[in-house]
Amino acid sequence: MMDWTDRNCRAFHRVLSARTLLYTEMVTANAVIHGDRERLIGFSSVEHPVALQLGGSDPEALAKAAAITAEWGYDEINLNVGCPSDRVQGGNFGACLMRDPVLVAACVAAMKAGVGIPVTVKCRIGVDEQDPEVALDALADAVLEAGADTLTVHARKAWLQGLSPKENRDIPPLDYDRVYRLKQRLPHVPVIINGGIGSLEEAEAHLLHVDGVMLGRAAYQQPELLLDVDSRLFGAEDPHADGFSAVAAFEPYISAHLEAGGRLHDITRHMLGLFTGRPGARAYRRRLAIEGVKPEAGLDVLRAAVDEVRRAEERRALVA
């Protein structure tokens, strides 16, 4: 979710669901230690609960980064052992660490020793020619022994040679049953499933077998599905009845961003999928894509885009 789940995206998604745990983009441990922390890991208090996803393979560096993360007020630290990009392979972190459960365990232990918030691990079921039955159990057992609080499993292998990061999200076949078997073997360990889950109906089906569901592309590309998460998956009241109400509630955040010198497009690029499948959705996206990217664009552009959907729905209602 690099370049997707930035702080503006997360603030928008929080408006849609009060209960969902949000995750940052992956940030390397060294970037947290040496980089511009406000830019890299700064977040708004409205985002809670929110987890910072860390990348790295040096226990000492990860321990330092974890301590900084905790000081900044994050609710969870998630170690990424699932990203297959060339960049993470070159830095010896991400999915290539599936081959070294002992090192991953050392990283988890180092982070746990210095923080009081949960430390979790996100992984694949295996990489390259690994047997997922062996590889996933080996990693899970190692990190749990080191103190990991939760396992999130993308139910696909990662092929580090021969497939691009994009292809690794789609081509390796999904094996949800392998994740279910992990949960059956570890009944007292929270196990979250990830990969190819496109609706709340699918999420509810998975929750018969595991403890949680991580949504990625579906939540980003069709954010309206988050409007029903609180009631359907948490038994709580949904914060907004529809996308129109959610956008109106999000306006103060957008106004503050604009007043601080930010651009409308910084935020609305994460909102393009909001009305997917509804009348006027194409006109909504087109207006944001053309007018929302202009340096002077303000809330009036967003309101006009939303009105495209509102008017289209009113016209459909009259015809019906």
Which residues partner with 124 through β-bridges?
154
Task: Say if CB 249 and CB 15 are below 8 A apart.
Answer: yes
From the candidates 9, 83, 107, 123, which is the catalytic residue?
A: 83
CA distance linking residue 314 with residue 320, whole number of Å? 10
DSSP H helical segments within the chain, as ranges? 7-16, 29-34, 37-41, 59-72, 86-90, 101-114, 132-145, 165-168, 176-185, 200-206, 217-221, 229-234, 243-259, 264-268, 281-290, 299-319
Phi/psi for 138 (5° steps) reads -65, -45
83 catalytic residue (yes or no): yes
Task: Determine the residue type at 24.
Answer: T
* 3-class state of residue 252 by DSSP: helix
CA distance linking residue 216 with residue 196, whole number of Å? 8
CA distance linking residue 278 with residue 285, whole number of Å? 12
**What distance lies between CA 149 and its chain's CA centroid?**
18
Task: Say if CB 273 and CB 304 are below 8 A apart.
Answer: no
Q: Which residues are catalytic?
A: 83
